[in-house]
Each structure stands twice: as C-alpha cells, then as structure tokens.
Structure 1
Amino acid sequence: MTPAEFVRSRMGQPAQDWACAKLVGDWITHRTGRDPLAVYGRPIEDGERWLQERGGLAVAVNRVMRANGFPKTLTPMPGDAGLILADGNRLCAALRTDKWWISQSRTGWIAQPIAWKAWHIPGGAE
C-alpha cells in the first residue's frame, strides 16, 4: 500500500483526539510491523501530558522517532514521517505522499507542501 492509498483508506473515518499522531503511528505500524509508541513505552492517551512537558509535541515526536531508530532526513520521500505547521503555528504529525505532507486533525484533513522536520521510515514508498 502506498502512502496515498493509506491516507485514502482513512478518509471516511471520523477524526479522533490525536488524529495526526494516530495517522503517522498507524502508518509506521503498517510499514514496520511495530507500534512506535509501544516501542517508546508511552500510550497515545498521554498526549495531553506530552504537550504540557518541555518542548511539547516536537520533543515528544523526536523522542519516539529516536527510540524507534528512525533517522532525521533533509530529503524526505513518500512514506516518511514529519511535523508540519498547520494554521500558521500549530505542529501536527504528518505522512509524506508523492506531493504533499498529509495530516488529520479533529476538524479535518491538512495538506502542506513542506515539513518543519522529517524522519525516514524504512520501506516508506512502494
């Protein structure tokens, strides 16, 4: 399944709390066979506490990616994961498709052409 097919398969589902993190986490689980949050040892339900901690979402995602061995990349490819800015100032976890970074929030889908930071997910593009 390509990243775009993965996103399309989720488009009919209602948005949930932590939709952006769930989208990326589910993609990583699909590609690698392991849940990145389980590897890190902290459930997604801790999201509100993560945002209150020093560094917020950016530090939390960086720690999860590092714990899973995913390297940062300056040349992201389809299937890689990243952080995008939505609404001008809100960070969201996102999945790279062929042309866009895609994320989901409680209010809908987000597409951005660039990411603030990105990590390579092995086997990301098929």
Structure 2
Amino acid sequence: MFESMTVQVRAGLGERRLTAAVRDVFDRHQELRESGAVCEVRRVPVHGLAGQALVDRAAAEVDAVANRVGSALFRVLWLDAGADLSGKLVLLVHRRVMAAVPWPVLLSELVSAWNRGDSAADLVGALDA
C-alpha cells in the first residue's frame, strides 16, 4: 500500500522543525489530505545502535508504521542517531497519491520547507537526498 524512500539527514535535524516542514508539504497537496487523512511524523531514537541492531530496529519501525490501520497517506519516520550523528528519514507515501505527488516533488518541497524554518547558518546540507 505504501511506497518508501530513505534519505540521510543532518545531525540535529530538530523534531519541531521537521514536523513543521512535513506539515507544510502535507498542507500543499490535497491528494495527501483526501478523505480526512492526517500526516504522521514519528521520531525513533537509534543513538548507539549500529549494524544489524540498527537495521532490525529500523525495519521493525517501518513495518509497524506501514501496517498500522489509519488514514495517514504520508508517514515519516525519523531515525534519530543523536545530536552529533546523521540520521535517516524514511518517507512512506500511499501508492494512490504517488502519481499526483511523485518523489522529486515531495523531496524538493520538504527540503524547501525545512530550509525556511531556521537561520541561514543551518540551511547548508539540511537534507541529502
């Protein structure tokens, strides 16, 4: 039901700022909001995990979110490795909206929305797609 993409993100991404950026993208696209859908952003602490333990934790979280019954057509998991290490964003979008809002559009709008959220010093390298 969902397609997913994982992108590396800078250390210290910021949960409030990320949530605001995701909300901005969600609000721009009627296709993401159809039938009363909501967007979900979930922070998953993975600091100190490496190798297979990290893979297992990430897979379990993605499965839990993707298989949850609900109206979210756009779900975001932030695998937060802590303030000093880059993390990952796992973006999950319901297949029925992908034709109208493809990955390049979602990613560029998410980067733009995140960039608008803070000072110029924090803009460089916000998201590495």
Per the TM superposition, whether the score is higher than 0.5 is no
TM-score when normalising by structure 2:
0.34
- Identify the structure with bigger relative contact order (alpha carbons < 8 Å, sequence gap 6+): 2
TM-score when normalising by structure 1:
0.34
Larger Rg, first or second structure (1 or 2)? 2
Structure with more helix by fraction: 2
Structure with more strand by fraction: 2
